[in-house]
Amino acid sequence: MTAPRRKIMIIIGLAVGMASFFFLLADSALSYSDNARFCLNCHVMEDAYLSLQHSNHKQFKCTECHAPHDDYLKKASFKTRSGLRDLYATTLGEVPDIISATQESREIIQVNCIRCHSSTVENTPMGEGRQCTDCHREVAHKKI
């Protein structure tokens, strides 16, 4: 093997190795951030977590409802943007008294409700523009 060809092979090997390392690191971070303990790093999420523990959805991770499931990159992108927005609000002390889902989050929650409850929803006349949470707001987060 010639010296230039060997350098090219080494560079390609290093690039593949580094890309694999960063992919595994990102995947590990994404998996870790699915854990409710991660969400509890921000004290403003304590009430949401406690209310979840008193609901009939307590066996699920926060991201089962609050993150996309149809595409890995979409989920990673959403969680990154959402996490950065939450970090920004928490760092600057601009967390609202009542935390509300963004429009994007409401759409994701709706898709996830249907993903798990499709057989129920298909027999339910919901009407145009209605969301599952219009009637079932306190299913996962009851007031305790």
The more confidently predicted of residues 117 and 129 is 117
105 shares a domain with 64: yes
120 shares a domain with 76: yes
Which residues form the domain of 88? Answer: 36-136
C-alpha span between 121 and 111 (Å, rounded): 11
Residue 96 three-state SS: coil
78-87, 104-113, 127-136 — which is least confidently predicted?
A: 127-136
113, pLDDT greater than 70: yes
71 shares a domain with 27: no
80 shares a domain with 63: yes
55 shares a domain with 26: no
**Average pLDDT score, the chain:** 83
**What share of the chain has pLDDT > 90, as a percent?**
15
What pLDDT, on the 0 to 100 scale, is given for residue 16?
81
pLDDT per residue as tens digits for the range 89-99: 888 888 887 78
**Which residue's entry shows tokens 């409850």?**
117
In a domain, 142, yes or no: no
In this prediction, residue 144 has a pLDDT band, given cuts at 50, 70 and 90, of low
pLDDT per residue as tens digits for the range 24-67: 666 777 777 787 777 777 767 888 888 888 888 889 988 999 99
The enclosing domain of 73 has a CATH number of 1.10.3820.10
Question: In 10 A of CB 45, how many CB atoms?
Answer: 19
In this prediction, residue 109 has a pLDDT band, given cuts at 50, 70 and 90, of very high
133, pLDDT greater than 80: yes
- How many domains are contained in the chain? 2
C-alpha span between 34 and 32 (Å, rounded): 5
111 shares a domain with 125: yes
79 shares a domain with 47: yes
**Which residue's entry shows tokens 């002390």?**
93
52 shares a domain with 108: yes
